[in-house]
Structure 1
Amino acid sequence: MLVSIQFCFKISCSPPQLGGKITVDGLTDYEKPLREGHRLQFVCDSPGLKLVGPREVTCQENGEWSSSFPRCEGKVTCQLGEINDSLSVVGLPEQNAPAKFGHKLQFYCTDPKLSLRGSKEVTCSAGGSWSSPFPICEGKGIGQLNNVKIVGGSPGIVPPFTPEHTLHFHCTHFPMTMVGLSSITCQSDGTWSNPFPTCLGNGGCGPPPHIEFAETTTFQKTYYRPDETVQYICHNYYKQDGNPYMTCTQGKWKRGYLRCLSM
């Protein structure tokens, strides 16, 4: 009696047949079969070339690759991004044509009163993208406002604020007392002429005074109500000498004598 013997073969995928300009990672030995699940990664030999197709393919259970193999062709180019009127660019290609791989652009603000926010230089990188987003030019912003609001400005109250721009403030609630100037001006160096003002309630106090080698037991606030009390504690390796309490009284902090002495 004749017995039919069947042989089982594991499915494998054929190795890729590629031209030049492309490198394959995953082909350590062409004599070894490329079994199901085996992966190949592709990169162009030159970063200035563009990879057309998938960067990775996988050998499937039917002996076929998950995608056709990619190729490297042409030159990498980067499209020009949006350029604001206040932004000047050095290195633009002629007729605003796409920039080639490695091309650099430098930026500066047309108006010296404005500040550049972002990278001063960008490079056309592999993949056809710029190394960083294009920057923008802007004026001075505003700081944190504590119980005050902007009620006017010249030429306006909306940023950006450029040198000689003035803002006017009022307290947010009545009755409150403003601490600081009610108007400040943006200077030529991009800083404000004075700190932003704050407003305190009648009879209230600002943050408690500093005591050397000590701190308050609770997080300090910008405003304390009349008769509100804070307690100090000396730092490690210092001992307390005197009264650790302070009370807000008629807009001023009143306390007994307190020192923190080295142990």
Structure 2
Amino acid sequence: MLLLVQVTLTLWVSWARGQEITCDPPIIPNGDFAPKMNQYELDDVITYQCGNGFYPPVLGNTTKCSLAGWLPRPRCVRKCSFKSLLHGYSPVTEESYVQGQSRTVMCHLGYGLQNPQNRMTCTETGWSPPPRCIPVRHCDMPIFENARAVITGKPFRLNDTLDYQCLDGYENRDGSTKGSMVCGEGGWSHLPTCFKSADKCGPPPAISNGDITSFPLKEYPPWSRVEYQCQAYYELRGPTDVTCSYGKWSKPPRCIDPCVISEEIMNEKNIQLKGKDNKRYYVKTGDIIEFICKSGHKAVTSKESFQAACREGTVEFPRCE
């Protein structure tokens, strides 16, 4: 049986040689070879060199043209060294790894690799991630109110996501019973705000001569804030905004009427505005208006009365005769 196999192999090799087996020049990323030829015959041997930082994966840097192509396959792979780790535990002696191999690293407390894992891999461009332990920003497990965490764990690394589920009968601001928050540079992107539907508020209260500064909604989640503004010349009195709390809005502000200084009133009192035309004039509450007598008229009220103050839509006018 052994003799038959040897005879068959000999005949097959002889047939292969009769077919003039050749090899194309090899393609070796990060490497080069010699001698350079357009075609290589069976059993031809070439020597190749790898670029800086790259090495053959096996001993020796030669390859032979065979019936199966170039053997051993010419390759240049990256070699990564590991000898020190700032803010981490370094190896006793320098270690070498080839492309595709990984190594576990141990960083000091409060430090970690750039990715959320503790392994780095030797790649064509070197270690990924680099062997550097950097300060790790993290988020602690938040305190949940009317909700529970779907995924538990502590602490959470930067960009980690934590899912939460509102308790039965509760929902979050967008009306859903589920939500997610992300651990960022300043902590969690938001905290769960699950509340009962009955705690929502309807449209904010209307005020005379004023309105809210935002587009009105049909419903507002608890602790929503809405800001008010008054029409021109009206003075806002009280808090500028209201807050939704347990289905009710806090007390809204008022818009105080301005004082209207009309030409008819000034003609009746024989007075005119100091330094201004005798036309309709609007004054905010608290402002001072200065008057003088019209030409040919004398004051019959006190000197102080010619500096009148506007008080919530009313003003005490001076008088001349």
Q: TM-score, normalised by structure 2?
A: 0.26
What is the TM-score normalised by the length of structure 1?
Answer: 0.30
Larger radius of gyration: 2
Q: Which has the higher contact order (CA 8 A, sep 6+)?
A: 1
